[in-house]
Structure 1
Protein backbone atom coordinates (compact mmCIF):
# COMPACT_ATOMS: atom_id res chain seq x y z
CA UNK A 1 0.00 0.00 0.00
CA UNK A 2 0.97 3.66 -0.13
CA UNK A 3 2.30 5.33 2.99
CA UNK A 4 -0.07 4.96 5.95
CA UNK A 5 -1.73 8.14 7.16
CA UNK A 6 -1.19 8.67 10.88
CA UNK A 7 -3.47 11.06 12.73
CA UNK A 8 -1.94 13.12 15.49
CA UNK A 9 -3.60 15.38 18.04
CA UNK A 10 -2.15 18.71 19.11
CA UNK A 11 -2.05 21.05 22.07
CA UNK A 12 -4.15 24.16 22.58
CA UNK A 13 -3.54 27.59 24.08
CA UNK A 14 -6.56 29.84 24.73
CA UNK A 15 -6.82 33.57 24.12
CA UNK A 16 -4.54 35.59 26.40
CA UNK A 17 -4.76 39.40 26.34
CA UNK A 18 -3.66 40.40 22.83
CA UNK A 19 -2.62 36.88 21.80
CA UNK A 20 -5.17 34.84 19.83
CA UNK A 21 -5.96 31.23 20.66
CA UNK A 22 -3.88 28.73 18.73
CA UNK A 23 -3.23 25.02 18.35
CA UNK A 24 0.39 23.86 18.31
CA UNK A 25 2.50 20.75 18.01
CA UNK A 26 6.15 20.02 18.79
CA UNK A 27 7.87 19.20 15.51
CA UNK A 28 9.44 16.03 16.90
CA UNK A 29 6.10 14.24 16.77
CA UNK A 30 5.18 14.80 13.13
CA UNK A 31 8.80 14.64 11.97
CA UNK A 32 9.24 11.24 13.63
CA UNK A 33 6.11 9.90 11.93
CA UNK A 34 7.30 11.23 8.59
CA UNK A 35 10.83 9.86 9.03
CA UNK A 36 9.37 6.45 9.90
CA UNK A 37 7.51 6.27 6.59
CA UNK A 38 4.09 7.60 7.54
CA UNK A 39 2.17 10.71 6.57
CA UNK A 40 1.24 12.77 9.65
CA UNK A 41 -2.20 14.38 9.61
CA UNK A 42 -2.75 16.86 12.45
CA UNK A 43 -6.21 16.84 14.05
CA UNK A 44 -7.01 20.05 15.98
CA UNK A 45 -9.09 20.00 19.17
CA UNK A 46 -12.79 19.41 18.47
CA UNK A 47 -15.72 18.84 20.81
CA UNK A 48 -18.14 17.26 18.32
CA UNK A 49 -18.15 13.42 18.35
CA UNK A 50 -19.40 13.22 14.76
CA UNK A 51 -16.56 15.41 13.52
CA UNK A 52 -14.08 13.24 15.43
CA UNK A 53 -15.52 10.11 13.80
CA UNK A 54 -15.34 11.61 10.33
CA UNK A 55 -11.75 12.73 10.86
CA UNK A 56 -10.75 9.23 11.96
CA UNK A 57 -12.31 7.77 8.80
CA UNK A 58 -9.35 9.27 6.92
CA UNK A 59 -6.43 7.87 8.93
CA UNK A 60 -4.93 4.40 9.38
CA UNK A 61 -3.53 4.90 12.88
CA UNK A 62 -3.12 7.56 15.53
CA UNK A 63 -0.46 9.06 17.79
CA UNK A 64 -1.67 10.68 21.03
CA UNK A 65 0.97 13.19 22.09
CA UNK A 66 2.26 14.23 25.49
CA UNK A 67 1.51 17.53 27.16
CA UNK A 68 -0.01 18.89 30.34
CA UNK A 69 -1.70 16.86 33.06
CA UNK A 70 -5.03 15.10 32.72
CA UNK A 71 -7.58 16.55 35.13
CA UNK A 72 -8.28 13.79 37.70
CA UNK A 73 -11.70 15.30 38.44
CA UNK A 74 -12.84 13.96 35.06
CA UNK A 75 -12.29 10.45 36.44
CA UNK A 76 -13.82 10.99 39.87
CA UNK A 77 -10.66 11.92 41.80
CA UNK A 78 -9.69 15.08 43.66
CA UNK A 79 -7.37 17.65 42.11
CA UNK A 80 -3.89 17.21 43.59
CA UNK A 81 -1.94 20.47 44.21
CA UNK A 82 0.85 19.30 41.87
CA UNK A 83 -1.48 18.77 38.91
CA UNK A 84 -1.36 21.38 36.16
CA UNK A 85 -4.30 20.44 33.92
CA UNK A 86 -4.08 20.84 30.17
CA UNK A 87 -6.61 23.21 28.62
CA UNK A 88 -10.12 21.72 28.89
CA UNK A 89 -10.67 22.19 25.15
CA UNK A 90 -7.80 19.83 24.41
CA UNK A 91 -8.73 17.28 27.08
CA UNK A 92 -12.34 17.12 25.88
CA UNK A 93 -11.14 16.46 22.34
CA UNK A 94 -8.53 13.92 23.46
CA UNK A 95 -11.13 11.95 25.42
CA UNK A 96 -13.49 11.87 22.43
CA UNK A 97 -10.62 10.74 20.21
CA UNK A 98 -9.41 7.96 22.50
CA UNK A 99 -12.95 6.62 23.03
CA UNK A 100 -13.56 6.38 19.28
CA UNK A 101 -10.10 4.95 18.60
CA UNK A 102 -10.70 2.25 21.20
CA UNK A 103 -14.14 1.49 19.77
CA UNK A 104 -12.64 1.02 16.30
CA UNK A 105 -9.57 -0.85 17.58
CA UNK A 106 -7.52 1.59 15.52
CA UNK A 107 -3.73 1.24 15.93
CA UNK A 108 -2.50 3.78 18.46
CA UNK A 109 0.74 4.99 19.99
CA UNK A 110 0.24 7.03 23.17
CA UNK A 111 3.15 9.12 24.47
CA UNK A 112 3.35 10.72 27.92
CA UNK A 113 -0.15 11.78 28.93
CA UNK A 114 -1.32 10.08 25.73
CA UNK A 115 -0.33 6.75 27.29
CA UNK A 116 -1.95 7.74 30.57
CA UNK A 117 -5.23 8.55 28.82
CA UNK A 118 -5.11 5.26 26.92
CA UNK A 119 -4.76 3.44 30.24
CA UNK A 120 -7.61 5.41 31.82
CA UNK A 121 -9.89 4.89 28.83
CA UNK A 122 -9.47 1.13 29.12
CA UNK A 123 -10.09 0.96 32.88
CA UNK A 124 -6.72 1.64 34.54
CA UNK A 125 -5.79 4.53 36.83
CA UNK A 126 -2.91 6.83 37.74
CA UNK A 127 -0.63 7.94 40.52
CA UNK A 128 -1.18 11.70 40.69
CA UNK A 129 2.26 12.61 42.04
CA UNK A 130 5.20 10.21 42.02
CA UNK A 131 7.04 11.98 44.84
CA UNK A 132 4.17 11.31 47.24
CA UNK A 133 2.79 8.02 45.91
CA UNK A 134 6.19 6.40 45.31
CA UNK A 135 8.61 8.26 47.64
CA UNK A 136 11.52 5.91 46.85
CA UNK A 137 11.33 6.55 43.11
CA UNK A 138 14.17 8.26 41.26
CA UNK A 139 13.47 11.72 39.77
CA UNK A 140 11.31 11.46 36.65
CA UNK A 141 11.34 15.18 35.92
CA UNK A 142 13.90 17.94 36.20
CA UNK A 143 12.35 21.41 35.79
CA UNK A 144 15.78 22.77 34.87
CA UNK A 145 16.56 20.06 32.29
CA UNK A 146 13.90 19.26 29.65
CA UNK A 147 16.18 16.49 28.37
CA UNK A 148 16.36 14.66 31.73
CA UNK A 149 16.95 10.92 31.23
CA UNK A 150 16.83 7.76 33.33
CA UNK A 151 17.48 4.08 32.70
CA UNK A 152 14.89 1.61 31.49
CA UNK A 153 14.27 -2.10 31.97
CA UNK A 154 12.32 -3.76 29.14
CA UNK A 155 10.54 -7.06 28.57
CA UNK A 156 12.36 -8.82 25.74
CA UNK A 157 9.18 -10.35 24.23
CA UNK A 158 7.63 -7.00 23.35
CA UNK A 159 7.79 -4.18 20.83
CA UNK A 160 10.00 -2.07 23.10
CA UNK A 161 12.13 -5.15 23.69
CA UNK A 162 12.68 -5.51 19.93
CA UNK A 163 13.51 -1.82 19.69
CA UNK A 164 16.05 -1.56 22.49
CA UNK A 165 17.48 -5.08 22.75
CA UNK A 166 20.15 -5.76 25.36
CA UNK A 167 22.46 -3.30 27.09
CA UNK A 168 21.91 -0.14 29.11
CA UNK A 169 18.94 1.91 27.98
CA UNK A 170 18.36 5.56 28.81
CA UNK A 171 15.20 7.43 27.85
CA UNK A 172 13.91 11.00 28.11
CA UNK A 173 11.64 11.54 31.11
CA UNK A 174 9.55 14.53 32.17
CA UNK A 175 6.50 13.43 34.16
CA UNK A 176 5.22 13.56 37.72
CA UNK A 177 2.13 11.37 37.13
CA UNK A 178 2.38 7.68 36.24
CA UNK A 179 0.30 4.56 35.72
CA UNK A 180 -0.85 2.85 38.91
CA UNK A 181 -3.21 0.02 37.91
CA UNK A 182 -2.75 -1.20 34.34
CA UNK A 183 -5.90 -1.44 32.24
CA UNK A 184 -7.30 -4.92 31.49
CA UNK A 185 -6.00 -6.22 28.16
CA UNK A 186 -2.63 -4.48 28.54
CA UNK A 187 0.66 -5.54 30.05
CA UNK A 188 3.69 -3.63 31.29
CA UNK A 189 6.60 -3.96 28.87
CA UNK A 190 9.05 -1.44 30.35
CA UNK A 191 9.76 0.06 33.78
CA UNK A 192 12.25 2.38 35.32
CA UNK A 193 14.41 0.39 37.78
CA UNK A 194 12.44 2.05 40.60
CA UNK A 195 9.30 0.26 39.38
CA UNK A 196 7.55 3.17 37.67
CA UNK A 197 5.75 1.95 34.55
CA UNK A 198 7.27 3.35 31.36
CA UNK A 199 5.57 1.34 28.59
CA UNK A 200 2.42 -0.73 28.11
CA UNK A 201 1.29 -2.83 25.16
CA UNK A 202 -2.01 -4.41 24.20
CA UNK A 203 -2.41 -8.16 24.67
CA UNK A 204 -5.60 -8.15 22.59
CA UNK A 205 -5.36 -9.94 19.26
CA UNK A 206 -7.54 -7.36 17.53
CA UNK A 207 -5.81 -4.19 18.72
CA UNK A 208 -2.30 -2.93 18.02
CA UNK A 209 -1.84 -0.42 20.83
CA UNK A 210 1.26 0.75 22.67
CA UNK A 211 2.03 3.50 25.15
CA UNK A 212 5.32 5.01 26.30
CA UNK A 213 5.66 7.27 29.32
CA UNK A 214 9.07 8.37 28.02
CA UNK A 215 9.40 10.65 24.99
CA UNK A 216 10.96 9.04 21.88
CA UNK A 217 10.20 12.17 19.83
CA UNK A 218 12.15 14.73 21.86
CA UNK A 219 15.43 16.40 20.94
CA UNK A 220 17.39 14.20 23.37
CA UNK A 221 16.00 10.97 21.91
CA UNK A 222 18.39 8.43 20.41
CA UNK A 223 18.33 6.56 17.10
CA UNK A 224 16.95 3.59 19.02
CA UNK A 225 14.06 5.71 20.29
CA UNK A 226 13.21 6.52 16.67
CA UNK A 227 12.62 2.84 16.04
CA UNK A 228 9.51 3.07 18.25
CA UNK A 229 7.92 5.12 15.47
CA UNK A 230 9.25 2.77 12.78
CA UNK A 231 7.74 -0.25 14.52
CA UNK A 232 4.46 1.60 14.96
CA UNK A 233 4.23 2.79 11.34
CA UNK A 234 5.09 -0.72 10.12
CA UNK A 235 2.34 -2.13 12.36
CA UNK A 236 -0.17 0.40 11.04
CA UNK A 237 0.77 -0.48 7.46
CA UNK A 238 0.28 -4.20 8.15
CA UNK A 239 -3.08 -3.54 9.82
CA UNK A 240 -4.24 -1.41 6.85
CA UNK A 241 -3.15 -4.09 4.35
CA UNK A 242 -5.11 -6.71 6.26
CA UNK A 243 -8.19 -4.50 6.18
CA UNK A 244 -7.79 -4.07 2.41
CA UNK A 245 -7.62 -7.85 1.94
CA UNK A 246 -10.79 -8.30 3.98
CA UNK A 247 -12.61 -5.73 1.84
CA UNK A 248 -11.37 -7.39 -1.36
Structure 2
Protein backbone atom coordinates (compact mmCIF):
# COMPACT_ATOMS: atom_id res chain seq x y z
CA UNK A 1 0.00 0.00 0.00
CA UNK A 2 1.00 3.64 -0.24
CA UNK A 3 1.84 5.38 3.02
CA UNK A 4 -0.97 4.89 5.54
CA UNK A 5 -2.87 7.93 6.77
CA UNK A 6 -3.01 8.31 10.55
CA UNK A 7 -5.65 10.56 12.08
CA UNK A 8 -4.78 12.65 15.13
CA UNK A 9 -7.20 14.36 17.45
CA UNK A 10 -6.07 17.74 18.74
CA UNK A 11 -6.34 19.92 21.80
CA UNK A 12 -8.77 22.82 21.78
CA UNK A 13 -8.93 26.23 23.38
CA UNK A 14 -12.16 28.23 23.45
CA UNK A 15 -12.13 31.92 22.56
CA UNK A 16 -11.01 34.23 25.34
CA UNK A 17 -11.32 37.98 24.98
CA UNK A 18 -9.58 39.01 21.77
CA UNK A 19 -8.03 35.54 21.31
CA UNK A 20 -10.06 33.39 18.89
CA UNK A 21 -10.75 29.72 19.49
CA UNK A 22 -8.10 27.42 18.09
CA UNK A 23 -6.95 23.79 17.87
CA UNK A 24 -3.38 22.65 18.28
CA UNK A 25 -1.33 19.48 18.62
CA UNK A 26 2.22 18.95 19.83
CA UNK A 27 4.60 18.58 16.89
CA UNK A 28 6.16 15.50 18.48
CA UNK A 29 3.05 13.46 17.64
CA UNK A 30 2.94 14.15 13.92
CA UNK A 31 6.73 14.23 13.57
CA UNK A 32 6.85 10.70 15.01
CA UNK A 33 4.18 9.54 12.54
CA UNK A 34 6.11 11.09 9.65
CA UNK A 35 9.36 9.42 10.78
CA UNK A 36 7.50 6.10 10.93
CA UNK A 37 6.71 6.51 7.21
CA UNK A 38 3.04 7.45 7.50
CA UNK A 39 1.03 10.59 6.81
CA UNK A 40 -0.54 12.42 9.78
CA UNK A 41 -3.95 14.03 9.37
CA UNK A 42 -5.16 16.31 12.18
CA UNK A 43 -8.92 16.05 12.78
CA UNK A 44 -10.97 19.02 14.01
CA UNK A 45 -13.55 18.51 16.81
CA UNK A 46 -16.69 18.10 14.73
CA UNK A 47 -20.00 17.35 16.46
CA UNK A 48 -21.82 15.21 13.87
CA UNK A 49 -21.36 11.43 14.10
CA UNK A 50 -21.76 11.02 10.35
CA UNK A 51 -18.88 13.46 9.88
CA UNK A 52 -16.76 11.48 12.33
CA UNK A 53 -17.51 8.27 10.48
CA UNK A 54 -16.52 9.91 7.21
CA UNK A 55 -13.26 11.02 8.81
CA UNK A 56 -12.59 7.44 9.87
CA UNK A 57 -13.31 6.29 6.32
CA UNK A 58 -10.39 8.45 5.20
CA UNK A 59 -7.77 7.32 7.74
CA UNK A 60 -6.10 3.93 8.17
CA UNK A 61 -5.41 4.34 11.89
CA UNK A 62 -5.87 6.75 14.80
CA UNK A 63 -3.39 8.27 17.21
CA UNK A 64 -5.26 9.52 20.29
CA UNK A 65 -3.01 12.18 21.79
CA UNK A 66 -2.47 13.20 25.40
CA UNK A 67 -3.61 16.35 27.13
CA UNK A 68 -5.36 17.44 30.30
CA UNK A 69 -7.62 15.18 32.39
CA UNK A 70 -10.75 13.30 31.41
CA UNK A 71 -13.72 14.57 33.40
CA UNK A 72 -14.71 11.65 35.68
CA UNK A 73 -18.25 13.00 36.02
CA UNK A 74 -18.89 11.76 32.49
CA UNK A 75 -18.21 8.23 33.79
CA UNK A 76 -20.30 8.53 36.94
CA UNK A 77 -17.52 9.57 39.36
CA UNK A 78 -17.05 12.73 41.39
CA UNK A 79 -14.67 15.46 40.30
CA UNK A 80 -11.43 15.28 42.27
CA UNK A 81 -10.02 18.73 43.17
CA UNK A 82 -6.69 17.99 41.44
CA UNK A 83 -8.31 17.31 38.07
CA UNK A 84 -7.89 19.86 35.29
CA UNK A 85 -10.46 18.76 32.70
CA UNK A 86 -10.07 18.93 28.96
CA UNK A 87 -12.00 21.66 27.20
CA UNK A 88 -15.60 20.33 26.91
CA UNK A 89 -15.61 20.61 23.10
CA UNK A 90 -12.50 18.45 22.84
CA UNK A 91 -13.73 15.91 25.39
CA UNK A 92 -17.14 15.47 23.75
CA UNK A 93 -15.44 14.95 20.39
CA UNK A 94 -12.73 12.64 21.76
CA UNK A 95 -15.19 10.42 23.56
CA UNK A 96 -17.52 10.12 20.57
CA UNK A 97 -14.63 9.49 18.19
CA UNK A 98 -13.11 6.89 20.52
CA UNK A 99 -16.42 5.01 20.65
CA UNK A 100 -16.50 4.84 16.85
CA UNK A 101 -12.85 3.81 16.69
CA UNK A 102 -13.54 0.96 19.11
CA UNK A 103 -16.78 -0.10 17.42
CA UNK A 104 -15.17 -0.11 13.99
CA UNK A 105 -11.93 -1.68 15.26
CA UNK A 106 -9.83 1.06 13.68
CA UNK A 107 -6.15 0.48 14.56
CA UNK A 108 -5.41 2.87 17.41
CA UNK A 109 -2.53 4.05 19.57
CA UNK A 110 -3.48 6.04 22.68
CA UNK A 111 -0.88 8.11 24.54
CA UNK A 112 -1.32 9.51 28.06
CA UNK A 113 -4.92 10.66 28.34
CA UNK A 114 -5.44 8.88 25.00
CA UNK A 115 -4.64 5.54 26.64
CA UNK A 116 -6.93 6.37 29.56
CA UNK A 117 -9.72 7.24 27.12
CA UNK A 118 -9.22 3.96 25.26
CA UNK A 119 -9.52 2.03 28.52
CA UNK A 120 -12.62 3.92 29.68
CA UNK A 121 -14.32 3.60 26.30
CA UNK A 122 -13.86 -0.16 26.39
CA UNK A 123 -15.32 -0.46 29.90
CA UNK A 124 -12.39 0.08 32.26
CA UNK A 125 -11.96 2.83 34.81
CA UNK A 126 -9.29 5.16 36.20
CA UNK A 127 -7.47 6.14 39.35
CA UNK A 128 -8.38 9.80 39.82
CA UNK A 129 -5.30 10.80 41.82
CA UNK A 130 -2.43 8.36 42.31
CA UNK A 131 -1.10 9.87 45.58
CA UNK A 132 -4.48 9.27 47.23
CA UNK A 133 -5.58 6.09 45.45
CA UNK A 134 -2.18 4.43 45.70
CA UNK A 135 -0.36 6.12 48.61
CA UNK A 136 2.62 3.77 48.32
CA UNK A 137 3.19 4.54 44.63
CA UNK A 138 6.33 6.21 43.36
CA UNK A 139 6.07 9.83 42.21
CA UNK A 140 4.57 9.95 38.72
CA UNK A 141 4.67 13.70 38.29
CA UNK A 142 7.13 16.32 39.47
CA UNK A 143 5.92 19.91 39.26
CA UNK A 144 9.52 21.14 39.32
CA UNK A 145 11.31 18.55 37.17
CA UNK A 146 9.77 18.18 33.70
CA UNK A 147 12.41 15.52 32.97
CA UNK A 148 11.10 13.21 35.71
CA UNK A 149 11.45 9.52 34.79
CA UNK A 150 10.90 6.12 36.36
CA UNK A 151 11.73 2.55 35.43
CA UNK A 152 9.40 0.22 33.57
CA UNK A 153 8.70 -3.50 33.88
CA UNK A 154 7.73 -4.97 30.50
CA UNK A 155 5.74 -8.15 29.95
CA UNK A 156 7.57 -10.77 27.84
CA UNK A 157 6.14 -11.37 24.36
CA UNK A 158 4.40 -7.99 24.16
CA UNK A 159 4.83 -5.32 21.51
CA UNK A 160 6.82 -3.26 24.00
CA UNK A 161 9.06 -6.26 24.59
CA UNK A 162 9.80 -6.30 20.85
CA UNK A 163 10.58 -2.59 20.99
CA UNK A 164 12.77 -2.43 24.07
CA UNK A 165 14.07 -5.95 24.66
CA UNK A 166 16.17 -6.70 27.73
CA UNK A 167 17.75 -4.19 30.07
CA UNK A 168 16.51 -1.47 32.40
CA UNK A 169 14.20 1.05 30.79
CA UNK A 170 13.32 4.49 32.09
CA UNK A 171 10.40 6.48 30.70
CA UNK A 172 9.07 9.99 31.21
CA UNK A 173 6.30 10.41 33.75
CA UNK A 174 4.00 13.40 34.24
CA UNK A 175 0.54 12.14 35.19
CA UNK A 176 -1.59 11.92 38.32
CA UNK A 177 -4.41 9.79 36.85
CA UNK A 178 -3.88 6.21 35.65
CA UNK A 179 -5.67 3.07 34.53
CA UNK A 180 -7.26 1.23 37.45
CA UNK A 181 -9.62 -1.54 36.31
CA UNK A 182 -8.49 -2.77 32.90
CA UNK A 183 -10.97 -2.98 30.02
CA UNK A 184 -12.00 -6.43 28.86
CA UNK A 185 -9.88 -7.79 26.01
CA UNK A 186 -6.78 -5.84 27.00
CA UNK A 187 -3.66 -6.97 28.81
CA UNK A 188 -1.23 -4.93 30.86
CA UNK A 189 2.08 -5.04 29.02
CA UNK A 190 4.14 -2.59 31.09
CA UNK A 191 4.04 -1.38 34.68
CA UNK A 192 5.99 0.91 36.90
CA UNK A 193 7.64 -1.13 39.71
CA UNK A 194 4.97 0.27 42.07
CA UNK A 195 2.25 -1.46 40.03
CA UNK A 196 0.87 1.58 38.18
CA UNK A 197 -0.13 0.54 34.65
CA UNK A 198 2.04 2.12 31.95
CA UNK A 199 1.04 0.24 28.78
CA UNK A 200 -1.88 -1.85 27.55
CA UNK A 201 -2.42 -3.92 24.40
CA UNK A 202 -5.54 -5.55 22.97
CA UNK A 203 -5.16 -9.33 22.84
CA UNK A 204 -7.46 -10.36 19.98
CA UNK A 205 -6.08 -10.79 16.45
CA UNK A 206 -8.93 -8.77 14.95
CA UNK A 207 -7.83 -5.39 16.32
CA UNK A 208 -4.56 -3.54 16.79
CA UNK A 209 -5.00 -1.33 19.87
CA UNK A 210 -2.13 -0.09 22.00
CA UNK A 211 -1.77 2.47 24.78
CA UNK A 212 1.13 3.97 26.69
CA UNK A 213 0.83 6.18 29.75
CA UNK A 214 4.28 7.58 29.08
CA UNK A 215 4.93 9.83 26.08
CA UNK A 216 7.22 8.33 23.39
CA UNK A 217 6.74 11.45 21.24
CA UNK A 218 8.05 13.88 23.86
CA UNK A 219 11.41 15.63 23.95
CA UNK A 220 12.15 13.63 27.09
CA UNK A 221 11.68 10.33 25.25
CA UNK A 222 14.61 8.17 24.17
CA UNK A 223 15.57 7.42 20.57
CA UNK A 224 14.35 3.86 21.11
CA UNK A 225 10.83 5.12 21.80
CA UNK A 226 10.48 5.86 18.09
CA UNK A 227 10.18 2.12 17.52
CA UNK A 228 6.73 2.17 19.13
CA UNK A 229 5.43 4.37 16.32
CA UNK A 230 7.09 2.12 13.75
CA UNK A 231 5.34 -0.92 15.26
CA UNK A 232 2.06 0.99 15.23
CA UNK A 233 2.41 1.83 11.54
CA UNK A 234 3.32 -1.80 10.78
CA UNK A 235 0.12 -2.86 12.59
CA UNK A 236 -1.91 -0.35 10.57
CA UNK A 237 -0.46 -1.70 7.32
CA UNK A 238 -1.16 -5.29 8.32
CA UNK A 239 -4.75 -4.39 9.20
CA UNK A 240 -5.17 -2.62 5.86
CA UNK A 241 -3.92 -5.70 4.01
CA UNK A 242 -6.20 -8.04 6.00
CA UNK A 243 -9.23 -5.85 5.22
CA UNK A 244 -8.27 -5.75 1.54
CA UNK A 245 -8.03 -9.54 1.33
CA UNK A 246 -11.42 -9.99 3.00
CA UNK A 247 -12.99 -7.45 0.61
Q: Name the TM tier (shorter chain).
A: over 0.9
Equivalent pair of 1:147/1:219 in contact (CA under 8 Å): no
Q: Distance in 1 between matches of 2:240 and 2:149?
A: 35
| Match in the other structure for 2:172 | 172
Dislocated runs of 4+, deviation >6 Å: none
How far did residue 147 of structure 1 move? 2.6
Is there any run of 5+ residues in structure 1 with no aligned partner, and where? none
Q: Distance in 2 between matches of 1:123 and 1:246?
A: 29
| Match in the other structure for 1:161 | 161
Mean Cα displacement is larger for which, 153-162 or 139-148? 139-148
| Match in the other structure for 2:54 | 54
**TM-score calculated relative to the size of structure 1:** 0.98
| Match in the other structure for 2:76 | 76
How far did residue 18 of structure 1 move? 1.2
Q: Distance in 1 between matches of 2:224 and 2:116?
A: 23
Q: Distance in 2 between matches of 1:77 and 1:156?
A: 34
Q: Distance in 1 between matches of 2:180 and 2:87?
A: 24
| Match in the other structure for 2:238 | 238
How far did residue 146 of structure 1 move? 2.4
Alignment partner of 1:225 is 2:225? yes
After TM superposition, the structure 1 = structure 2 runs for residues 84-233 of structure 1, keeping only pairs within 5 Å, are 84-233=84-233
**TM-score calculated relative to the size of structure 2:** 0.98
How far did residue 46 of structure 1 move? 1.6
Q: Distance in 2 between matches of 1:141 and 1:224?
A: 22
| Match in the other structure for 1:66 | 66
> How many residues matched?
247
Q: Secondary structure at the match of 2:161?
A: helix
